[in-house]
Amino acid sequence: MELWRLSATDLANRIRAGDVSAREVAADALDRLAAVNGALNAVVDYRPEEVLADAEAVDAARARGEALGPLAGVPVTTKVNADQRGFATTNGLRLQKDLVAKDDSPVVANLRRAGAVLLGRTNTPAFSLRWFTTNSLHGETKNPRDPGLTPGGSSGGAGSAVAAGIGAIAHGTDIAGSVRYPAYACGVHGLRPSFGRIPAWNASSPERGIGPQLMAVSGPLARSIADVRLGLAAMAAPDPRDPWWVPAPLEGPPAPRKVALCLRPGGLAIVPEVEAALRDAARRLEAAGWQVEEIADTPPLREANDIQLTLWLGDGFAAVRAAAEREGDPAAIGLLDAFRPRAEALWPDAITQALTRRATLARQWSVFLAENPVLLVPVSGELPFPDGLDRTPEGIARAFEAQLLQVALAPLGIPALTVTTGLVGRSPVGVQVVAGRFREDLCLAAGEAIEAGGVPPMPVDPAGA
């Protein structure tokens, strides 16, 4: 049996029942990693001896009759921008190649406590800045479905790995689509949880500015919605090191099975294939008993997009730009330089004004989502980009326009789920499901109904493997 093909849910159940050992699962996962990672460069650091030792510890705990965690023995990858003890938190930077974490970040610690076996560290662009995954330290990550397409970013290694069967669940982070877009580009599912749902903090690094503190979240990528749900439950356990963490229940009160479909929110232009995917998802939801109503627009998105950019650019931009110069990463420098005029034009009180206005928009969206429990919108206005699109100013502008929904939802603090639905040739396509704050359960319920109508084949064997 090729255990690496099984879902996290299935693996955890089999290990718990004693049908297969955690060590067998880990060994098979390592074999899969060795077989395909050379063609992908999705995992950039791993230690087979530690992986097997952690799996053996799960088997020993089961032999002693101890209760096993929900992810006991499940191979999970972690992103190189999160602290994992004994590994460098590189964030795709040569500047941080020796920044070895002494302790696990809260999300990594939660995965360990849930019994996950940490299989390897996944790649990210330098500074985790882009929707493309390449850097001067670890190199370029390929999309297993089509090497000519971006694997997404910044959790491109996570998306590529889980799509190719390297681990059953991948950890990612998202401040402007960095979980949702790799899931979209690689043809898997990915959840950006509510702000405050999953604890985060890196002891290895300085405290982040207020913008990233309020917008950056960790979340799971997986090949099934059930595994996304399982990953969320494990990652969301409490940790006192994150003062923003909220003890909200994973299941909220009953809500009407009502979906608002918006094809072009904020006036976003979409290609015909994206519209077709949205209408197909709406039909799947209706077939499952959901009421779907098409609406013309949502509460403000363009302004939310501007707030996200202000909180990003106005809080430490000069320091990041100087670090990019020291790093010498041309793509990061090009992206930052494209936004430099906007950053330098910000008024001294721009962050205060953005935070004030953020509350107004969050309130408007909260009221809207109370009336429309689930919102169905594009992930991107386009199919996954050709790899390297953002190497020119024109490409950067095109990408940021297409990714309006990636950027604008971040400062609102609400959950958003990418659901992959099919292929257009070799290119994945999917939709985005949004709900009110701490209502990931509604995103996942709608996601399961959409998933039931069909998804691309996965895991996939990459070209050249």
Catalytic residues: 79, 154, 178
CA-wise closest residue to 167 among 359, 71, 280, 30: 30
d(CA 367, CA 215) in angstroms, rounded, equals 20
Cα 395 from chain centroid (whole Å): 22
Query: Tokens at residue 340, please?
Result: 């430099």
Asked whether 314 and 351 are in contact (CB, 8 A), the reply is yes
d(CA 316, CA 320) in angstroms, rounded, equals 6
Helix (H) or strand (E) holding 13: helix 8-17
Total length of the chain: 465
Query: Tokens at residue 367, please?
Result: 């009221």
CA-wise closest residue to 441 among 200, 228, 295, 283: 228
End-to-end CA distance of the chain: 20
Partner residues linked to 377 by β-bridges? 432
CA-wise closest residue to 219 among 175, 261, 254, 250: 175
Burial group, residue 240, by CB count within 10 angstroms (0-12, 13-18, 19+): exposed
